[in-house]
Amino acid sequence: MSGFANLIGYRKDQEEFNELASRVKESFGEAFWNPAAQCLFDRVVSGEGDASMRPNQIIAVALPVKVLARREEEAIVGAVQRELLTPYGLRTLSPSDPNYKGRYEGDQQSRDLAYHQGSAWPWLLGPFIKAYVRVSEDHAQARSEALQLLQPIRVHLNEAGLGYVSELFDGATPQQPRGCIAQAWSVAEVLRAYYEDVLGKEPKDPLTG
C-alpha cells in the first residue's frame, strides 16, 4: 500500500502505511518465531503457536520486503531444506509429524487427507529458491545450486504431461507425480525462479523500488 501511495503521489498516506508496515514487521517476528525449533510457527491462535513444520514459512523469507532478521531467515531456509525439500517441491508437512501422509493415493477422502499433509508441491520450489539465494553469502554459487534443484523438474517435463509440470508429487520416495498433469502455478513458479533467481534477472518492483 505504501508503494501504491507513492506511485500516485499520496505522501501522507505513504507515511501512514510505512508506519503500519514497521509495526507489522516488529509484531510478526514476535508472534511467529519458534525459538525451540528455530523456525516459524505455522499459525498462531489466541497466542498459541502451532509448531507443525510446514512450507508456508518460506514465503516469509521470499517476500520483497524483509520481515525477519537475517539469522532467522537463514535458520528457516535450513529447517525447510532439511525437513520439507524433495527433488520435486516442498512437502506440505514434515515426515516426522504423526499426521504426515507420504502418498497421494486411494479414494477421494484418502487423497484429500494427503493433499496438505505431506504431498510435495512443485510451485513451492519458487519461493524456496528465492529464499535460498537471498540468504546465501555467495549468490553466484547459490544460483548454480538452485539450477541443480530444478534439474529433476526438467527431466519431469518428459515424464507426465509432456512439456508441463504436475500439480503435486508424493512426499515419500520415489515421489510419483500426482494430481493433474499440467498445473499452471507449478509451471509459472518454476519458470519465474529460473529467470529471476537462477539467471539473476529479477525485475525492479515499481512498488518497492
How far, in Å, CA of 178 to CA of 169, rounded?
5
* Alpha-carbon torsion (79, 82, 88, 91), positive or negative: negative
pLDDT tops 80 at residue 10 = yes
pLDDT tens sequence across 103-144: 999 999 999 999 999 999 999 999 999 999 999 999 999 999
Backbone angles phi, psi at 64, to 5 degrees: -65, -20
pLDDT tops 80 at residue 208 = no
pLDDT tens sequence across 16-30: 999 999 999 999 999
pLDDT tens sequence across 142-200: 999 999 999 999 999 999 999 999 999 999 999 999 999 999 999 999 999 999 999 99
pLDDT at 209: 62
| pTM reported for the whole predicted model | 0.93
How far, in Å, CA of 94 to CA of 155, rounded?
25
The model's confidence at residue 64, banded by pLDDT at 50, 70 and 90, is: confident
Quick one: average pLDDT of 61-79? 95
Show me where the domains of the chain are located.
Answer: 55-198
